[in-house]
């Protein structure tokens, strides 16, 4: 048994909705300005929720959909750039909340590409026969690391979690991954670690918020993502016209439109929910996958693609079971 399939997907978002109009009350912007440049109309902001609690809620939904017992999960990976703590890792806290004992649990940091990176790691570990079921979660509370006076970032980033359950199978449904990175572009999207000075380290405090060069990130995404998708498909029997649905990281509607044009694919094949959630980083793709479920049918070929800080990017192709 060296195949893998998806057996459950879940999502969780905070209760509070923050609209463009509300942001315009404390930053010089407008609803129209944000919508025209990003496609975002509103986003969710965690007040009572945490990265861990959102991850747990999303995982529970995926487990319920899969109709399995949580304790049968042997591997838990959480992709996040905004954990509640460095130690213990989020995955251990999630496993404990779900009643999962003795599983391998760790966090993975690849920013907005994190869910795809974590999925590739999980599926690779499953294919060697070590694990039968793996839970992969993308979870973020980016609102706590956003400068709410910086119009360039505060209109974009938001909070949420998405979870996917993978199971070993004889008939493989997860067909291919293609992940890449380029550290020379690290300066275009950064979030410094928050360490305090002590006896041996007296560095000046670093900027504690997300810093982004939007133009450079845009150019990177619209160039690398289509190339990556084509390279992935070259490793399969399919081409872009064979794909039934594309689910991209929901960072900017203009990026999705540009990728569709460069691939020569009708934009109607690209699922979008950015208008409601904004950019939830590692949570973006699994949240979108959950919301796209009512459009997917058995046998559909679905391509996921992400891109983010690192710079990192990647794609994944699977068939709906």
Catalytic residue (choose from 20, 89, 249, 252) = 249
Q: Is 207 tagged catalytic?
A: no
The SS3 assignment for 218 reads helix
The residue whose two tokens read 């945490």 is: 50
3-state secondary structure of 136: strand
Of 92, 105, 112, 154, the catalytic one is 112
Strands (DSSP E) found in 38-158: 42-45, 75-79, 104-108, 133-141
- Nearest-angstrom CA–CA distance, 311 and 103: 30
Is 279 designated active site?
yes
Strands 104-108 and 75-79: parallel
CB of 112 closer than 8 Å to CB of 279: yes
Q: What are phi and psi of 240, to 5 degrees?
A: -60, -30
Residues 6+ apart with CB under 8 A from 194: 206, 208
Collapsed DSSP state (helix, strand, coil) of residue 76? strand
Which of 20, 89, 228, 279 is catalytic? The answer is 279
* Alpha-carbon span 91 to 239, nearest angstrom: 36
Residue 279 DSSP class: B
Residue among 5, 2, 3, 13 nearest 286 (CA): 13
**Please, what sign has the CA dihedral across residues 12, 135, 209, 247?**
negative
Q: Rounded to 5 degrees, what are φ and ψ at 99?
A: 80, 25
Between CA 6 and CA 13, with CA 7 as vertex, the angle to 5 degrees is 90
- Which residue bears the tokens 């509370």? 141
Q: What are phi and psi of 56, to 5 degrees?
A: -65, -45
Q: How far apart are CA 297 and CA 292, in angstroms?
A: 10
**Residues with catalytic roles:** 112, 249, 279
């Amino acid at each position: 048994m060296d195949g893998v399939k998806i057996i459950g997907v879940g999502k969780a978002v905070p209760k509070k909705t923050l609209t463009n109009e509300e942001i315009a009350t404390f930053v010089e912007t407008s609803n129209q300005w944000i919508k025209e440049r990003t496609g975002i109309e509103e986003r969710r902001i965690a007040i009572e929720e945490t990265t861990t609690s959102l991850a747990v809620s999303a995982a529970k939904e995926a487990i319920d959909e899969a109709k399995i017992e949580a304790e049968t999960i042997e591997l838990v990976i959480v992709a996040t750039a905004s954990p509640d703590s460095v130690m213990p890792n989020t995955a251990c806290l999630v496993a404990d909340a779900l009643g999962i004992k003795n599983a391998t649990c760790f966090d993975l940091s690849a920013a907005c590409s994190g869910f795809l990176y974590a999925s590739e790691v999980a599926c690779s570990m499953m294919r060697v026969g070590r694990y039968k079921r793996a839970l992969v979660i993308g979870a973020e509370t980016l609102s706590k690391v956003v400068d709410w006076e910086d119009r360039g970032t505060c209109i974009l980033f938001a909070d949420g979690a998405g979870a996917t359950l993978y199971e070993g199978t004889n008939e493989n449904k997860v067909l291919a991954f293609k992940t890449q990175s380029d550290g020379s572009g690290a300066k275009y999207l950064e979030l410094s670690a928050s360490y305090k000075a002590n006896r041996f380290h007296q560095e000046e405090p670093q900027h504690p918020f997300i810093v982004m060069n939007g133009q450079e990130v845009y150019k990177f995404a619209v160039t690398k993502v289509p190339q990556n998708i084509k390279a992935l498909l070259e490793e399969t029997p399919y081409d872009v016209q064979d794909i039934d649905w594309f689910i991209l990281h929901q960072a900017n509607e203009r990026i999705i439109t540009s990728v569709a044009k460069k691939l020569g694919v009708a934009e109607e094949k690209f699922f979008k929910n950015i208008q409601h959630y904004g950019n939830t980083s590692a949570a973006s793709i699994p949240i979108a996958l959950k919301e796209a479920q009512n459009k997917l049918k058995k046998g559909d070929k679905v391509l996921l693609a992400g891109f983010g800080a690192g710079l990192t990017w990647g794609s994944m192709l699977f068939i709906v079971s």
